Amino acid sequence: MGIREERRARMRREIQGATLDLVEKQGLDATTIGDIAARVGISERTVFRYYASKEHALMPGQQSLIDTLVGSESAHSTSSGILGDLLAVCRDLFAQEVEQSDFRRISRLMVQEPAMMRVVVRQERILVEALSAALVGRGQLESIQALLVAEVVTAAWRVAWQSFARNEVDGVDSDPVELFEKTICELGKLFHEG
């Protein structure tokens, strides 16, 4: 990584850290881009060079989740095969998210800060719409199948993350990747009960 990329990565981390600190202290609704900029010692305009919004600064991994899932192509031609491939991509992304960000802090905020759920729901809607459109656009699935697959992938991500977040708030030690695996396992059981 070159000097410019290192500076950019450091600034992104500083902005995200300041955003997390402020949201934990005063809540999402009360935190402004001006507050974040002042905390880091930069202008509001500079914040916007790195993040489109305070919500994006708070949870930068959401956009990469959307981009990666939308860009994933499956070798399978059935909805269940495509779903399995997308869940495998999700599992890998989930593991990366746990390692690369302030996952625990963000998870606790999801449970403790009601405004965070609005952000998450908005991002989930964007993910479902983009993923289902991509599946239809590539000719992989018909629109209803694509929408169902996108909703199931999104729900699996949410359930695993919320389970981890609840454990964090309750002081229960848990492995987020194991929770994702358990979510996928339970999902499979639902579809195979008869």
CB atoms within 10 A of CB 177: 17
Domains of the chain with CATH codes = 3-54 (1.10.10.60), 59-192 (1.10.357.10)
Determine which of 17-31, 92-106, 139-153, 172-186 has the lowest per-residue pLDDT on average. 92-106
Do 73 and 130 contact (CB within 8 A), yes or no?
Answer: no
Q: Is 114 helix (H, G, I), strand (E, B) or coil?
A: helix
Return the higher-pLDDT residue of 62 and 44. Answer: 44
User: 18: which 2 tokens?
Assistant: 């300041």
Sign of CA dihedral 178, 182, 188, 191: negative
- Tell me the per-residue pLDDT of 16-52, one tens digit each, with 9 for 90 and over: 999 999 999 999 999 999 999 999 999 999 999 999 9
Say if residue 58's pLDDT is above 70. yes
**How many whole angstroms separate alpha carbon 179 and alpha carbon 144?**
28
**How many whole angstroms separate alpha carbon 15 and alpha carbon 105?**
15
Do 135 and 141 contact (CB within 8 A), yes or no?
Answer: yes
pLDDT value at residue 194: 53
Q: Given phi > 0 = left and psi -120 to 50 = alpha, else beta, which region is 114?
A: alpha
**How many whole angstroms separate alpha carbon 57 and alpha carbon 17?**
9
Return the higher-pLDDT residue of 189 and 61. Answer: 189
pLDDT value at residue 193: 63
Question: Per-residue pLDDT averaged across 144-150, rounded?
Answer: 96
Confirm whether pTM is higher than 0.75: yes
Q: Is 110 helix (H, G, I), strand (E, B) or coil?
A: helix
Mean of all residue pLDDT scores within the chain? 90
Nearest to 132 by CA among 146, 118, 112, 111: 146
Backbone angles phi, psi at 183, to 5 degrees: -60, -45
> Any residues with CB less than 8 A from the CB of 115 and at least 6 apart, and which?
27, 28, 29
pLDDT value at residue 100: 67
Say if residue 119's pLDDT is above 90. no
CB atoms within 10 A of CB 132: 23
> Any residues with CB less than 8 A from the CB of 84 and at least 6 apart, and which?
76
Return the higher-pLDDT residue of 121 and 146. Answer: 146
